[in-house]
Amino acid sequence: MRPQILDGERFEANTEASQRIMELEYELQQTRENLQAVIEELETTNEEQQATNEELTASNEELQSTNEELHSVNEELYTVNAEFQSKIEELTELNNDMDNLLRSTDIGVVFLDQKLKIRKFTPAATVAINLVEADIGRPLEHITHNLDCQDLLALLQQVIMTKNPVEQEVKLKKNGINLLMRINPYLQEDNSLDGVVLTFININDIKQVERQLKQAESALRQANEELEKRVIERTAQLASAKEAAEAANQAKSAFIAHISHELRTPLNAILGFTQILKRTPDIASSEQLHGIEIIHQSGQHLLTLINDILYLAKIEANKSTVELSDFEFQPFLANLVDIVLVKAKQNGICLNYQALSSLPAAVYSNETRLRQVLLNLLGNAVKFTEAGGVLFKVGYVKDFEPEEQKYKKSHHDKIRFQVEDTGVGIPVDKLADIFLPFQQLSDSQAFTEGTGLGLTISQNIVRQMGGEIFVESRLGEGSIFWFDLDLASAESWQQIQQQYNPKSSIVGFHGRKYKILVVDDQDDNRAVLVNFLNYLAFNVLEASNGKDGLALALEHQPDLIFVDLVMPAIDGLAVTKKLRQELNLSAVTIVVTSASTLPEAKSLCYESGCDVFLAKPLDFDQLLELLEIHLDLEWIYQENLTITSLNQAEVSEQRTEKDNFHSDQLVIPSPEKLNPLLEMAMQGDLRAILEEVANWGEIDAQFIPFAQQLRQLAESCQITRLQQLIEQHMVINE
């Protein structure tokens, strides 16, 4: 039975209700059950007030005239109650949202007041602290927990005292799950402390990741240490391998140098005596001259192979260089053709040379290296051609049709060297491989000549000279090799040429008889030099070792000394140094000869005091220039030069020039006979020319010398010279 409220007490009741509502607002913030109780009481009060209002309304209707003041109070109370109801609904909704939020999160939260009594908690918090709904309002110290934290209450008191948050990692005793515990002060708007909030976050996954990271870090550190050890070991191995490679490279270089020396030593005798024999006028037999020429060419071929191997070693060591000098260009090309022509004739093919441009008389380049490249290309063309022929073209790039359109004008002044053949050709998939070391074609023929280094070395030489070797080929049809070089014209060559006399015609010298000492432990090599110097009428002394050489030098005071570099006991360096220490011999010209071509050997020779270093096999033309310079000689030349070379092209050229000068000594057929020959020559029909001149001897024996000239030019495929010879004699006869 609810107590009745008197009219005079309504205002007081309203005052109490306001106070009650304020208390309810406060209590709603503290606990859910107190808030719910307030809500129920308010609802009950509201219902009672609504009933009272109904009763008052009825009473007011009856007492309308006497209860106006009460009606006004009731209307105000109704308005206030409606506002309170709205606030209660908002608070209830907010409270529900907070409860839903706390229930839905995995974070354990416990709200405590200043006395550490439990106000509220989330389900996730029960994992750490053994809480149930009935524990709300109980002190936390009365409730057990599952944490390995013995000072939990002390930490809570610390936060209450200092208002500073505390964070600590803890574990659950049962399963060892890692939790991050945070204790934060619960402050109101005025910064006054209203309690603490205790939260628990499961960091077990994070800890596992940390452990994994630590393990990975440890493994990485260990791997790094092992890697560092391996790097150190590998570095040591590489250093050892490098030392071994350097030692092997030095051994290889020493081996190559030794082999080169051993091969050059007999080659010096072979090539030296062939040069002497070719200069000897007493040998008139063509068969003998032919044999000498074969020996000389074979020796030169072997020397080229040795130089190829040495040059490859220099390329591998990046020590190869290209030394430039002036040399006569057109005779250089003619000599190349003459050399290759011998092999072409042996193979039964034709070798043609075409100068597409007016070439300079002399150029500034490396004659030796250029000859090496062209001999390789021409030699390969002849070697791989069984039928047809080889065409060697030289001219400015602009004069090559129609290839000139492929090049910029800046390339037009370059000179192109092009070798065409009708040989076996090269498969497309092999074009890139032919420039690799030790690569040879073997599909169609078992060619075994050469080292397989020719094109490799040639490409490197041409690149050093500023060009590139290109190739086009069709299998079974033939190949075309070409390269372009920027060869500067030697403008001073004409002045040099005016002072030039052929070294091959030297037979002696004017003036006193100079003494020359030759010191060499190799009898054959010493004999080559001694024979050549005796042929030139020098007073020659010879010694087979360094000791005897020093004794002869001190006794006879020679004008020039040749000493071999490698000798037993006292070598060439020691002999040179001792000679320089002798007052009477300190100024004598010393020439060191050696089969070694290594730059180190040259440097050592010059450091020891020698004047000139000569590489074996000796080049007699170079030797003659050396003697002329250092002894200030004036040579005696043979007036009636006897041609001793079997090189048919050279013989033909020299005889043609000589006989052209003395054309009255030849009996020339009539222009009627020469006209058909000229047409054949212009058509390139060399076979018909040979058939035509073969019968001239039967018609008139006086035609034989002229027929021999024509036959030699035709057999050597020198079409241009053949035309010039015929035209010249046609003009003379007219």
Is the pLDDT score of 405 beyond 60? Answer: no
Specify the higher pLDDT residue, 81 or 729: 81
Which of 148-152, 341-345, 499-503, 547-551 is the most confident on average? 547-551
Beta bridge partners of 396: 415
Mean pLDDT of all residues in 180-202: 87
Percent of the chain scoring above 90 in pLDDT: 10
- Residue 544: other Cβ atoms inside 10 A: 16
Task: Using DSSP bridges, classify how beta strands 108-112 and 193-202 pair: parallel, antiparallel or unpaired.
Answer: antiparallel
Residue 416, pLDDT score: 92
pLDDT digits 0-9 by tens, 307-331: 666 665 665 555 556 667 788 888 8
Strand order through the sheet with 325-328 = 325-328, 362-365, 488-489
* pLDDT value of position 317: 56
The CA distance from 724 to 142, in Å, is 133
Question: Residue range 658-669: average pLDDT?
Answer: 52
Q: Residue 388: its pLDDT value, please?
A: 82
Q: In the chain, what is the greatest distance between 2 CA atoms, to the nearest angstrom?
A: 181
Q: Contact, 557 vs 613, CB < 8 A?
A: no
Comparison of pLDDT for 392 and 655, the residue scoring more: 392
Return the pLDDT at 657. 40
Give the pLDDT score at 654: 39
User: Which of 72-76, 186-190, 491-495, 497-501 is most confident?
Assistant: 186-190
Find the angle CA(175)-CA(179)-CA(180) to the nearest 5 degrees: 170
pLDDT digits (tens, 9 = 90+) for 686-710: 677 877 877 776 676 677 777 877 8
Q: Indicate whether 465 pLDDT > 80.
A: yes
544 touches 527 (CB < 8 A): no
Higher-confidence residue: 105 or 366?
366
Per-residue pLDDT at 308: 64
DSSP labels, 438-505: T----SS-----S-S-HHHHHHHHHHHTT---EEEEETTTEEEEEEEE-PEE-TTHHHHHHT---GGG
- The burial of 131, by beta-carbon neighbours within 10 Å (0-12 exposed, 13-18 middle, 19 or more buried), is given as buried
pLDDT of 510 over the 80 cut:
yes
pLDDT at 649: 37
Cβ count within 10 A of residue 639: 7
Structure tokens at 96: 């529900």
Query: Residue 5: what pLDDT?
Result: 47
Above 50 in pLDDT, residue 481?
yes
The predicted pLDDT at position 650 comes to 39
The tens digit of pLDDT for each residue in 542-560 reads: 999 999 999 999 999 999 9
Read off the pLDDT of each residue in 660-679 and give the average, rounded to a whole number.
Answer: 67
> CB atoms < 10 A from the CB of 618, how many?
20
pLDDT for residue 640 is more than 80: no
pLDDT band at residue 355 using 50, 70 and 90 as cut-offs: confident
User: Would you state the pLDDT for residue 447?
Assistant: 44
Res. 17 pLDDT band, cuts 50 70 90: confident
Taking residues 4-24, what's their average pLDDT?
A: 62
Residue 470 Ramachandran class (φ > 0 left, ψ -120 to 50 alpha, else beta): beta
In the predicted structure, residue 6 carries a pLDDT above the cut 60:
no
Distance (Å) of CA 260 to CA 58, 315, 525: 142, 16, 15
Average pLDDT over residues 247-264: 67
Give residues with Cβ within 8 angstroms of 732, minimum separation 6. Answer: 663, 668
pLDDT, average across residues 592-608: 80
Q: Tokens 């040795």 sit at which residue?
A: 306
Q: Which of 112, 128, 152 is nearest to 203 (CA)?
A: 128
Predicted local distance difference test score (pLDDT) of residue 516: 94
DSSP 669: -
Per the model's pLDDT, the better-predicted residue between 285 and 138 turns out to be 138
Residue found under tokens 């009650």: 20
> How high is the mean pLDDT of the chain?
77
Q: Is 695 helix (H, G, I), strand (E, B) or coil?
A: coil
* Distance in Å from the first CA to the final CA of the chain: 169
| pLDDT, position 591 | 93
Average pLDDT over residues 327-354: 83
Higher pLDDT, 418 or 43: 418
pLDDT higher than 80, residue 216: yes
C-alpha–C-alpha distance, residues 165 and 161, integer Å: 11
Say what the pLDDT of residue 333 is.
87
pLDDT at 563 over 90: yes
Q: How many Cβ atoms are within 10 Å of 573's Cβ, its own excluded?
A: 21
